[in-house]
Structure formats: structure tokens, C-alpha cells
Chain A
Amino acid sequence: MQQTERQISLKAAVIEAIAEEFRRDPETFYIGEDVGVAEGIFKQTQGLHAEFGDRRVIDTPISEAGMFGLTVGAAVAGMRPVVEIMFSDFLTLVMDQLVNHAAKIHYLSGGGFRVPLVLRTAIGVGGVLGSTHSQTLYAWPAHVPGLKLAAPSTPADAKGLMTAAIRDDNPVLYFEDRMTYNLKGPVPEGEHIVELGVADIKRKGSDVTLIAFSRMVHVALEAADALAAKGISAEVVDPRSIVPLDTETLIDSVARTGRAVVIDGGHESYGIGAEVAATVSEGAFDYLDAPVMRIGAPHNPVPCSKPLEAMMVPSADQVVAKVERMYG
């Protein structure tokens, strides 16, 4: 039997996961700004309102704190909402409800209440949207016990992680780099689950481990190609979820290769890269042939400028240069 693998975009894969779960579970609903008739500012909710209607795809006023808190309340009451915060920059507006409520209600209720919600949000630099619509703020919630974080890099992972996130009984933050929305790839039809906390080796290698998140996985893969041409075999590991973090796979890979570079689209200082570098440096200490290196966004706001914002995104060239330094 011949099977042609279906190719769809990352955005379509996320929508497909949501739609399938919504059909399966009537206790789900989608809530956010401009997500209904307008279908989202990136068309990231295309078709949902048409299929599920006003009651299950809800437009809110521009009131992130109230709207998110309200969603937490609905989740506590047992529903499974997917709530969209348009840009991860706007997490700043929901910090109280996220950090002080959603993350703690299960623990502090002694396990009696659960908060099964998905917070869907866009990250990434591109399209010149400026300093308050371009940040990758996933290091912030990673810091808060009680929250899970997923960040897909491929359409298939995007579908699988979203399905897992909706079925999870905890608040899961789901980060999509908006510059990967149109990236196409094979995606299984029907139920497809990628468990949170399981890393994926996107490319096998033996000389150096490139650990990359979300869109940076593609930067790492590009760098791996360039390194291969120089005779260096790079392994690319995509943790896929930030919390829980699959430290075992990461440390195992670095123990094999002896070298690691962490590539993260967020600000480098105090970021996810620091967490992974510290974890790997500790866990693979005896196997390291070179220091674990980090590449992230520089420590300045994202300028609203085409040439300047390009500097905010780690490049394959930077990765290659770091790896070459390890051999230098």
C-alpha cells in the first residue's frame, strides 16, 4: 500500500490539533482577542469560529489580565480552555493571574482543584513589529513552578504537542514562533500525541550537540549542514518542551559528543540557554571536551527596524563560529 505523506503548515497543524480535540471534547473552548470572526491576526484560528461558533470561540475585549484570569476560573470549574495571548510580550499583562493563581491553585488546594488550560502565544522576531511585539519570553514562566511549557519546531510536533497540552491537567504554555507559521512538513492525520518532556533528536551526529528550541532548531540544522561540509558531525537535539525538560536525553547526547552549543531565540542573559548550559555542564561535567556555549538574543530591546531586528535572531553562522572556537 502506497502512503503519500501529507504536508501541511505548522499553523494548520496547530489548528488541526485544536479542532480535533474540540470535536472530541465538548468541554473545550477557545478564547482570546480577535480570534473569532477575524480568525486571529495571523489567521492562526482559521476555521475554528466557523465550525465551533460564538459559544466555543470567544472574542474578548483588550483586557488580558481579566480575560486570562477568567479562563483560569473556567478551568478550575473543570473546562479545558485554550486561551490565546496574542504575543508572548503580553504575558507581562497576565503575570499575576499566571504566576500567583494558575500555577499555584492545584498545589495550594492540596490537589483538589486542577487548572487544565493551554495558553497559546506567539514568540519570535520578524516582520518589524518592534520591541513589544517581538519578544520570546518563555524563560519567565519557566521560572515558575506549576507551569508546563512547550515550543514546537515542526508541524508534526506542533500538532502532537498541542494535543498533549489540551489533554494535560495542568496549565501548559504553548509557544509558537510566528515566523514558522508557514513552514510545511509531514503531519500524521488523526490523533497524534507528542508527550511533554520528551526531546527529539532532529539530526544524528557525533562531534558536537546543538540544543535548540522552536525556530532555532532550523538554525541549528542549517549550521549542522555547514559544519558537515567542514567535517564536523553535529547532533541537533530539540527538547520540544521546556518544562518538563528532558535532561536525560540532553546530557546523554552531550556525554557522547563532549561538546554543546545551546541556541535560544530569547534574550541570552538569564535565559533558557543559561538553564540548559548550567544543567548540561553539571550533568555531563566529566565528558566535556570544551565549555558549553550559549547563543541567544543580545541584551537590548528588539528595534522596530528591518536591519536591526535581524541582529536579534541567532544565525547559523554564529553557531558555526562557536563550534569552530571549540576546536580552535
Chain B
Amino acid sequence: MSPEDCVDLYRTMVRIRVFEETVRRYHIAGKAPGLVHLCTGQEAVPAGFISVLRPDDYITIYHRGHGHCIAKGSSLEALLGELLHRRGGVNLGRAGEPHLCDPATNNIGSTGIVGGSVPLAAGAALAAQLRGTDQVSVSFFGDGVLNQGVMFEVLNMAAIWSLPVVFVCEDNRYGEFTESATVTAGERYQDRGAVFGIPSDTLDGMDVLAVREAAEQAVGRARRGEGPSFLVFETYRFTGHHVSDQQEYKDSEEMRAWEARDPIPNYARWLADEGHVDDVAIARIHAEIDDEVEAAAKVADSMPHPGPEDLGTHVFA
């Protein structure tokens, strides 16, 4: 990776974090109603993984998916507009967070159904395989999906047909308010992919370079026609399941330990150690991104709400 690329990775993570803080602000102000799920703390996975993808590669995401949209290149205005339910939103302000998708970036999107988007990613991979393109499809999902039957069915099919798909489980230890370990049998989550002969691994999801390296291998395998991979990234959400969640079910010791692994300052230290940035550069990056997101927010907040004429369009193509 060139120094510029290394710094870009940092920018992406910071952009995601600042964006999430902005969303939180608007939510608290009542402008982004509904349940809002932030990925603060988990930025390394979308930033690191998607940095190795091409624009024509497909992704599917889940309810904690703002970061993936940003990393895949969605317009911040349109993204925020959607979360503010505006007509200028990336989905005309009707999808809101649970259905965020972006056809312009081949982001098939999020779903309100646990595990619902996983087969869609495999389907896009099948399309790539049938067409003979070397596109890759990546499905991002949370640990709660591990217990959905459809996940299991799709892993089997991806293995049988050697589909160019990467399954990325973002294990943030909690499915909503329930500790995942209490509802997920077996010793290691990765075994659920390994039983089908799918190369499977568990990695540090707080280390953006480790994520990127694993992504390069898995995406490379898929692009070369060598079939699917199943990766579990251990990560942690610093926020609640949604913004209003008080997180009483979490242990404060545990929270402190994970906060010490915050991917952003740790990566900043690494960049400094490598000589790619100094304190001034870091400060400048933060200031630029603050301005960028603030400008996007102004545009988004000025967009009109959809009206009755927007209700019945696009039921059918």
C-alpha cells in the first residue's frame, strides 16, 4: 500500500465516525426518527474490507450499514438525506436506514430481516459467475445471523457452486441486547463455514490492516474463481443496539477494554510510527472531514420531505 492509500484508509474510518456522530445528533434532534443503528467502534471492518473492492463488485449490508455505504462510495448528502427521510435521499426517502441501498455503487443494501440480505449477495455472485465476469460479491452481516437457517442454506450452495462470494460476519458480541454466545452453540463461529469446506477464519476486526489483508486474500480467491470464504471479525460496537439503547446489559469493564482497542487512534499511531502522518496532518484530516460531513448535512437538511405524489411510485417497475 502506498502512503496515500494508508492515509485514505484512515480518512474512511474517520468519515464513518463523524458521519455516525452527525446522524446521532440529528436523531436526538428528532430529524432522523425511527431506530438508528450506529457502527461506531466497528469502522475498521467496512473501511478495511471495502478498500480492496472494485466499484463493480457487489455488497449487501445489514442494519448497521452506514459505514459500508460510505466505504463503497455513496454520496454523503444522499445517504444522510435518506436517514432524514428526504426526497433527495439515496432511496427517495422511503427506505430509511433499514433498507439503505445504492444502485450506483452496486450496494444491494440492507434489510430489516436478520439474515435477509445474505442470499442476495450469493445471488449477485451467481450472476457474476453465469456472466463470466470476475466481479466479487461480499455479504456483511452481524453475529445474530449465524442462527438463521437461511445463512446455513446459502453457505452450502455457495460451497457447492464455488460462488465468488465472501461472507463477512461482524461479531460485535451482541445480537440486539442478547450476548451472542448464549444463543449460538458450538465452539467457534467460523466452524459454521468450515463444515462446508469453505476457507474460514477468525480475525481482529479492530485492526484495519488485518482486515484489509484478510480481505485481499478472500476477495482474491473469489476473483480467481476459487470460491467462497467465511470470515469472522471480532469487533465491538461502542454504542447501543440503537441510539436510545442504554446498554445496561453490558459490563463496564468489558466496554473499557474494547474502547482501548478503538481502531481509529490505534491506526493513527501506526501511521505516525510509519512516518505517513504527523499530528498536524491528523488534525487537518479531522478538520477536513468535519467540514465535509457538515456541508453534506446542510444539503441533506435542506432537502424536502417526500409528498403524497411519491407514495405510489415504483411499486412495480
Residues of A within 8 A of B (CB): 27, 29, 55-56, 58, 60-61, 63, 65-79, 96-97, 100-101, 104-116, 145-146, 148, 168-170
- Closest B residue to A243 by beta carbon equals B316
A65 to B150, CA, bound (A): 6
Say whether A169 contacts B317, CB under 8 Å: yes
Given contacts A73-B108, A111-B314, contact A67 B153 (CB under 8 A): yes
- Tell yes or no: B181 within 8 A of A by CB: no
Say whether B123 contacts A76, CB under 8 Å: yes
Kindly specify which of B95-103, B234-242, B280-288, B289-297 makes contact with the partner chain: B95-103
Given A77-B58, A113-B109, 13 more pairs with CB closer than 8 A: A67-B157, A71-B123, A72-B120, A73-B124, A74-B127, A106-B317, A107-B314, A109-B103, A109-B109, A110-B92, A110-B94, A112-B102, A170-B317
Looking at the assembled complex, report how far the CB atom of B57 sits from the nearest CB atom of chain A, in whole angstroms.
11
Say whether B127 contacts A79, CB under 8 Å: yes
A67 to B152, CA, bound (A): 11
A55, A114, A146: which contacts B315 (Cβ < 8 A)?
A146
Contacts of A66 in B (CB 8 A): 119, 122, 149-150, 152-154, 156-157
- Closest A residue to B125 by beta carbon equals A73
- Closest B residue to A78 by beta carbon equals B127
- Tell yes or no: B112 within 8 A of A by CB: yes
Query: Of A63, A77, A79, A101, which is in contact with the most chain B CB atoms at under 10 Å from its CB?
Result: A77
Given contacts A61-B153, A111-B92, contact A69 B104 (CB under 8 A): no
Contacts of A29 in B (CB 8 A): 130
A247 to B153, CA, bound (A): 41
A27, A58, A69, A77: which contacts B116 (Cβ < 8 A)?
A69
A60 to B126, CA, bound (A): 12
A72 to B161, CA, bound (A): 17
Say whether A108 contacts B94, CB under 8 Å: yes
Contacts of B94 in A (CB 8 A): 107-108, 110
Say whether B124 contacts A97, CB under 8 Å: no
Contacts of B122 in A (CB 8 A): 66, 69-70, 73
A245 to B93, CA, bound (A): 29
Say whether B156 contacts A76, CB under 8 Å: no
Contacts of A170 in B (CB 8 A): 316-317
Contacts of B93 in A (CB 8 A): 110
Contacts of B28 in A (CB 8 A): none
A55, A60, A112: which contacts B103 (Cβ < 8 A)?
A112
A100 to B316, CA, bound (A): 15
Contacts of A71 in B (CB 8 A): 123
Looking at the assembled complex, report how far the CB atom of B23 sits from the nearest CB atom of chain A, in whole angstroms.
19
Contacts of A114 in B (CB 8 A): 317
Query: Of A75, A105, A146, which is in contact with the most chain B CB atoms at under 10 Å from its CB?
Result: A105
Looking at the assembled complex, report how far the CB atom of B169 sits from the nearest CB atom of chain A, in whole angstroms.
16
Say whether A101 contacts B120, CB under 8 Å: yes
Say whether B99 contacts A109, CB under 8 Å: yes
Looking at the assembled complex, report how far the CB atom of A104 sits from the nearest CB atom of chain B, in whole angstroms.
7
A104 to B109, CA, bound (A): 12
A24 to B217, CA, bound (A): 38
- Tell yes or no: B90 within 8 A of A by CB: yes
Say whether B111 contacts A70, CB under 8 Å: no
A100, A109, A148: which contacts B113 (Cβ < 8 A)?
A100
Looking at the assembled complex, report how far the CB atom of A35 sits from the nearest CB atom of chain B, in whole angstroms.
15
- Tell yes or no: B215 within 8 A of A by CB: no
- 8 A Cβ contacts from B60-101 to A: 60, 89-95, 99, 101
A110 to B112, CA, bound (A): 16
A37 to B121, CA, bound (A): 27
Name 5 A/B residue pairs within 8 A (Cβ), A-sorted: A66-B157, A70-B120, A70-B123, A73-B121, A146-B316
A55, A65, A74, A106: which contacts B149 (Cβ < 8 A)?
A65
Looking at the assembled complex, report how far the CB atom of B227 sits from the nearest CB atom of chain A, in whole angstroms.
15
A60 to B160, CA, bound (A): 9
List 9 tightest A-B contacts by C-beta distance, closest first: A73-B123, A69-B119, A66-B153, A112-B103, A63-B153, A110-B92, A73-B120, A169-B317, A77-B127
Query: Of A76, A96, A110, A112, which is in contact with the most chain B CB atoms at under 10 Å from its CB?
Result: A110
A128 to B83, CA, bound (A): 53
- Tell yes or no: B313 within 8 A of A by CB: yes
Say whether A65 contacts B153, CB under 8 Å: yes
Contacts of B130 in A (CB 8 A): 29, 55-56, 74, 79
Looking at the assembled complex, report how far the CB atom of A167 sits from the nearest CB atom of chain B, in whole angstroms.
11
- Tell yes or no: B128 within 8 A of A by CB: yes
Contacts of A145 in B (CB 8 A): 315
A70 to B124, CA, bound (A): 8
A273 to B112, CA, bound (A): 32
Contacts of B154 in A (CB 8 A): 63, 66, 69-70
A186 to B68, CA, bound (A): 54
Say whether A109 contacts B101, CB under 8 Å: yes
A111 to B121, CA, bound (A): 19
Looking at the assembled complex, report how far the CB atom of A164 sits from the nearest CB atom of chain B, in whole angstroms.
13
- Closest B residue to A103 by beta carbon equals B315
B101, B119, B152: which contacts A112 (Cβ < 8 A)?
B101
A106 to B108, CA, bound (A): 11
Say whether A113 contacts B315, CB under 8 Å: no
Say whether A77 contacts B128, CB under 8 Å: yes
A279 to B154, CA, bound (A): 41
- Tell yes or no: B118 within 8 A of A by CB: yes
A106 to B102, CA, bound (A): 12
Contacts of B149 in A (CB 8 A): 65-66
- 8 A Cβ contacts from B106-161 to A: 108-109, 111-113, 116-128, 130-131, 137, 149-150, 152-154, 156-157, 160-161
A75 to B137, CA, bound (A): 14
Query: Of B123, B126, B150, B315, which is in contact with the most chain A CB atoms at under 10 Å from its CB?
Result: B123
Say whether B113 contacts A96, CB under 8 Å: yes
Looking at the assembled complex, report how far the CB atom of A213 sits from the nearest CB atom of chain B, in whole angstroms.
21
B118, B137, B317: which contacts A111 (Cβ < 8 A)?
B317
